[in-house]
Structure 1
Amino acid sequence: MSQPPESLAALPESAQRVADLLAGIGHDRPVVMLPATGKTSAEAAAGLGCSVAEIAKSIIFRRVKDDAPVLVIASGSNRVDEAKVAARVGPLGKADAKFVREKTGYAIGGVCPIGHAVAPVMLLDADLFRYESVWAAAGHPHAVFNFTPQQLQAMTGAPVVDVAQAAQ
């Protein structure tokens, strides 16, 4: 894998908030800024020189019964099977941009696995554990950070489950 872009001295406010959260839990890897957007898994992977599967994408759903945010952190190469997620957490609805911003504190394309405005129900894609390390959004569409899947599980306490849609 090629070297990721260098960290910038001044991070955008939302990315700095993530950097501070990571420092607070003793995470030893910096938040880095991509030269181009990382809103999609493919864009982030291209900017980092890694495979799309090594991107830990954050997908937000709205749980119907209580309007709770449901965060699925999935391998970038996987399509999330909503039926598998609903079987674990209850019926799901779509989360629009306003819901995502209100519940997470982040804009779509920058949703970080940690530091949410409202604690989400979380699930981690078991396929992430195939990789030595993965990258996730760090609060901003251009900001990312690196971690092992085991660190992600320790940070979030989320169960590791099969959320991937079967290949067709």
Structure 2
Amino acid sequence: MHPRAAEFAERVEERYGITIDVSEFDEGTKTAAAAAEAVGCETAAIASTIVVALAGGERDGELVAGITSGANRLDLDAIATHFDADAAEMGSPERIRETVGWSIGGVPPLCHETTIPTVFDPTLLEYDVVYGAAGTPSALFAIDPETLVDLADASVVDVTES
């Protein structure tokens, strides 16, 4: 197993007391469609974690995360509105790595270095199991979406494009 994927699995066990199974795929899981094909599920059952930077307002410069269904796109205006900011933009890869401890393409929905406010796409609650990144662009783990909401300390709110 890739060292970062193994580190993620260890962190989950240490922080939450649960054991997860990490699956790795040679073909990679960089997109929701590729991840869904790799695990054999609908694209909508992929829990993509997107980290964005807020601009303006009291939270200017703060990073927040959106865990969205792979079938949906994160609406940056909706994120900004939800967090009372003037705008939101994709976070820089360097800042994401520095703040959450994971690189773009493999950012898991859990076990960030720094706790950041997180929202959760209600579409994911329609599934018994969803799949999130496990620390690398080729590793995934399966989890019950309600458990994921709890562990990620996320607010369930629709911040996806219509």
Aligned position for 2:97: 101
What's the CA shift string for 1:7-32, capped at 9, x where partnerless? xxxx2222112101222223243111
Counterpart in 1 of 2:41?
50
1:63 maps to which of 54, 64, 84: 54
Give me the whole-angstrom Cα distance separating, in 2, the residues matched to 1:82 and 1:66.
Answer: 14
Q: Distance in 2 between matches of 1:66 and 1:165?
A: 23
Q: How does 1:30-45 map to 2 (within 5 A)?
A: 30-45=21-36
- TM-score, normalised to structure 2's length? 0.90
Q: Separation in 2 of the partners of 1:32 and 1:70? A: 27
What is the alpha-carbon distance in structure 2 between the residues aligned to residue 31 and residue 22 of structure 1?
11
Secondary structure of 2:150's aligned partner: helix
Q: CA contact under 8 A between 2:9 and 2:20: conserved in structure 1? A: no
Find the counterpart in structure 2 of residue 144 from structure 1.
140
Q: Does 1:117 align with 2:108?
A: no
C-alpha distance in 2, partners of 1:133/1:158? Answer: 17
Cα distance in structure 2, aligned partners of 1:39 and 1:130: 23
> Alpha carbon RMSD of aligned pairs, Å?
1.3
Per-residue Cα deviation, 1:60-79 (whole angstroms, up to 9, x for no partner): 10122442211100000001
Aligned counterpart for 1:13 among listed residues 3, 19, 22: 3
* Separation in 2, partners of 1:29, 1:139: 13
Deviations 1:40-61 (A, max 9, x none): 1011111111111010001110
Q: Which residue of 1 aligns with 2:12?
A: 22
Structure 2 CA distance, aligned partners of 1:17 and 1:120? 20
Q: Is the 8 A contact 2:54 2:64 kept in 1?
A: yes
Match of 2:158 among 147, 157, 162: 162
TM-score (norm. length: structure 1):
0.87
Instruction: Give the aligned residue type for 1:109.
Output: G
Shift of 1:115: 1.5
Q: What CA distance in whole angstroms lies between the structure 2 residues aligned with 1:68 and 1:163?
A: 17
For 2:2 and 2:20, the matched residues in 1 are separated by 17
Secondary structure of residue in 2 paired with 1:114: coil
1:30 counterpart letter in structure 2: D
Identity of aligned pairs, percent? 32
Moved over 4 A (4+): none
